[in-house]
């Protein structure tokens, strides 16, 4: 009897694991098979031409470049915030410090706040200061979204840095600041993984940039210009009644998926490298 139960549940587990793999495969298959037909060189090398939204020529270069500008700016902001925070709570405070726990806890919560709330809040603040939807606004809001992501994965690595590595520079007379500079080198693969994950999250998020970054057919040349982003390009093109334009939405979705695949795989590569470095 109990052996039968064992068998049934083992089968159920295998089935559910298989279903999850199948769903991932199905999603990728759908996106690839729908998008590959309209994925031309023009799609990634040209901005929208005249009549693009009626199915005429052009591509989504504006959105690709816009997304990258946006996410690079956001990563810089996020690193500028999250590195000092992680260093402070890990190397200046003790493990049991209440302050450190509070900071970790509040970042855990920030991590859970949905992007639409960041987007709505960010836009409300922008209205308050009389700012229009712009690359700058998008960068700041996406930066807020990914700061907790980077901070949490950095913290995860920093927490397990071996004591010897902390004590060696200190015993040689280095100040804590100098020690941190050394530790940062050790943390480099961790930072890279965190950044890659955050880029993936930032580049694919639509709800944050919906109000704050606007949309335009041009590649932005200044921080105060609005900018197009890939997720919104997909979203808007999909809403069009014209089939040509819808097909381009699928092609754009394929482009975004490929970018995410590359980011996800390289993040895995770096985190594996990290575990090799572990002492």
Partner 1 sequence: MIRFRLFKDKTARLSMLGITILSLGFLLLIGIGLFYMSLPILREKETWKLLTSSNWKPFKGEFGFLPYIISTLHVTFIAIIIALPFSLLTSIYLTEYATEKIRNFFAPIIDLLSGIPPVIYGVWGTLTIVPFISEEIAPHFVEFSSGYSVLAGGIVLSVMITPLLISIFCEVFGSIPKEMREASLSLGATKWQTVKQIILRKSMPGIIAAIALAVSRAFGETIAVLMVCGNIPIIPSSIFDACYPLPALIANNYGEMLSIPSYESALMMAAFLLFIIIVIFNAGSRLILNRIERRYHV
**Which of positions 150-209 make contact with partner 1 (CB under 8 A)?**
175-178, 180, 197, 200-201, 203-207
The DSSP result for 176-204, as a single string, is: HHHHHHHHHHHTHHHHHHHHHHHHHHHHH
Q: Which of 54, 72, 76, 124 binds partner 1 (CB under 8 A)?
A: 124
The helix-helix angle for 188-204 and 230-238 (nearest 10°) equals: 20
Report the nearest approach of partner 1 to the CB of residue 59 (Å): 18
Report the nearest approach of partner 1 to the CB of residue 263 (Å): 7
Report the nearest approach of partner 1 to the CB of residue 120 (Å): 4
Residue 238 contacts partner 1 per CB under 8 A: yes
The rounded distance, in Å, linking the Cα atoms of 259 and 264 is 9
Residue 35 or 47: which CB sits closer to partner 1?
A: 35
Residue 172 or 221: which CB sits closer to partner 1?
A: 172
Nearest to 103 by CA among 122, 124, 85, 123: 85
Report the nearest approach of partner 1 to the CB of residue 63 (Å): 12
Three-class secondary structure of residue 228 per DSSP: coil
Report the nearest approach of partner 1 to the CB of residue 178 (Å): 7
Residue 51 or 178: which CB sits closer to partner 1?
A: 178
Contact string 78-117 vs partner 1 (x = CB under 8 A): ---x--xx-xxx--x---------xx-xxxxxxxxxxxxx
Residue 124 or 242: which CB sits closer to partner 1?
A: 124
Residue 268 contacts partner 1 per CB under 8 A: yes
Q: Answer for the pair 140, 208: CB distance below 8 angstroms, yes or no.
A: no
Residue 50 or 259: which CB sits closer to partner 1?
A: 259
Residue 22 contacts partner 1 per CB under 8 A: no
Q: Which single residue is written with the structure tokens 């915030």? A: 81
Residue 262 contacts partner 1 per CB under 8 A: no
Nearest to 70 by CA among 122, 129, 5, 34: 122
The rounded distance, in Å, linking the Cα atoms of 225 and 273 is 39
Residues 30-89 that bind partner 1 (CB under 8 A): 30-31, 34, 81, 84-85, 87-89
The rounded distance, in Å, linking the Cα atoms of 150 and 108 is 11
Three-class secondary structure of residue 30 per DSSP: helix
* Binding footprint of partner 1, residue count (CB under 8 A): 85
Residue 65 or 198: which CB sits closer to partner 1?
A: 198
Piece of 36-44, 54-62, 161-169, 252-260 that binds partner 1 (CB under 8 A) = 252-260
The rounded distance, in Å, linking the Cα atoms of 139 and 143 is 6
Six token digits for residue 193: 């993984």
Residue 69 or 193: which CB sits closer to partner 1?
A: 193
Q: Answer for the pair 156, 162: CB distance below 8 angstroms, yes or no.
A: no
The rounded distance, in Å, linking the Cα atoms of 183 and 87 is 9
Residue 50 or 114: which CB sits closer to partner 1?
A: 114
The helix-helix angle for 163-171 and 176-186 (nearest 10°) equals: 140
């Amino acid at each position: 009897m109990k052996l039968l139960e064992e068998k049934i549940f083992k089968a159920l587990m295998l089935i559910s694991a298989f279903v999850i793999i199948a769903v991932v495969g199905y999603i990728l298959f759908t996106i690839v098979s729908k998008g590959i037909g309209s994925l031309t060189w023009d799609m990634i090398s040209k901005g929208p031409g005249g009549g693009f939204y009626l199915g005429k020529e052009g591509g989504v270069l504006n959105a690709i470049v816009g997304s990258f500008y946006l996410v690079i700016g956001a990563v810089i902001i996020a690193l500028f915030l999250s590195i000092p925070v992680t260093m402070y709570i890990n190397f200046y405070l003790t493990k049991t410090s209440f302050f450190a726990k509070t900071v970790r806890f509040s970042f855990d919560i920030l991590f859970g706040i949905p992007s639409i709330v960041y987007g709505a809040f960010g836009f409300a603040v922008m209205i308050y200061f009389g700012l229009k939807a712009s690359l700058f606004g998008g960068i700041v809001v996406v930066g807020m979204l990914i700061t907790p992501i980077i901070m949490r994965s950095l913290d995860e690595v920093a927490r397990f840095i071996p004591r010897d590595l902390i004590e060696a520079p200190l015993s040689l007379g280095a100040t804590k600041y100098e020690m941190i500079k050394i530790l940062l080198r050790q943390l480099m693969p961790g930072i890279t993984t965190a950044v890659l994950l955050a880029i993936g999250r930032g580049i694919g998020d639509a709800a944050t940039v919906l109000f704050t970054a606007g949309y335009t057919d041009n590649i932005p040349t200044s921080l105060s210009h609005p900018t197009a982003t890939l997720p919104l390009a997909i979203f808007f093109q999909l809403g069009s009644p014209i089939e040509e334009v819808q097909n381009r939405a699928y092609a754009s979705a394929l482009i975004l998926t490929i970018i995410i695949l590359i980011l996800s795989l390289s993040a895995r590569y770096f985190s594996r490298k990290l575990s090799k470095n572990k002492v």
